[in-house]
A and B are shown apart, each in its own frame.
Chain A
Amino acid sequence: EVQLVESGGGLIQPGGSLRLSCAASGFTVSTKYMSWVRQAPGKGLEWVSIIYTGGSTYYADSVKGRFTISRDNSKNTLYLQMNSLRAEDTAVYYCGLSSSWGYFDYWGQGTLVTVSS
């Protein structure tokens, strides 16, 4: 059974850094396209970043240069390193699995990041 469990969220001051984790089970992260998607309070969904099976990474313009997606194959875990955080980064962050191209067929439960002084 596929499971995705995010952790690492919390309250952080503007300009700070945070690293989110997404522990996967039931599959191998290095063999799937893995993404981060966020949702600001009361708002819609926003795709943030993706890492492909070959290791290529892509980012939304809103986070490019500040966020880094990565994975640890030995731990079967996906990460999102978030630097220079801003108030507008406040959101629930979900990790999503794409078994095939582009759409997200499995989601974690999300972890809340609050950027505030």
Chain B
Amino acid sequence: EIVLTQSPGTLSLSPGERATLSCRASQSISSTYLAWYQQKPGQAPRLLIYDASSRATGIPDRFSASGSGTDFTLTISRLEPEDFAVYYCQQYSSSRTFGQGTKVEIK
């Protein structure tokens, strides 16, 4: 099983700041089969990024992502108030597994 480790566990930032979230895989993920989701309290997750760097429909361009192999990054260029949430990465190279999440909270 591919284990995904996200860091940091919590990111405390102010609106307008840049957020950088990391997702590291226990083994190489083929064909950049990695997605990112945003989840707010009491809501279902929302797809942000698929195939490591492609934005899903309707996702603002302040969200970007990159990476390959075992190291992946999600960047939010300028945090808006609605961006404070928990973010999960997910791999679909071998079955499907999620990272444990990174909480982006207001500083």
Contacts and interface: CB of A to CB of B under 8 A. Distances in A.
Interface size on B, as a range, is 20 to 34
Given A107-B44, A107-B45, A102 B96 contact: yes
A109 B44 contact: yes
Interface string A98-114: 00111111011110000
A104 B47 contact: yes
Contact of B50 (A35, A47, A60, A105): A105
A103 B37 CA distance: 10
Contacts of A104: 35, 37, 45, 47, 90
Q: Is the interface of A mostly helix, strand, loop or mixed?
A: loop
A46 B37 CA distance: 13
Contacts of A29: none
15 contacts: A35-B96, A44-B99, A45-B37, A47-B98, A50-B96, A60-B95, A94-B44, A100-B50, A102-B35, A102-B92, A103-B50, A104-B47, A107-B44, A107-B45, A107-B46
Contacts of B46: 107
Contacts of B47: 103-105
Contacts, number: 54
Contacts of B13: none
Interface string B32-72: 01010101000011110011000011000000000000000
Interface size on A, as a range, is 20 to 34
Contact of A105 (B1, B56, B88, B98): B56
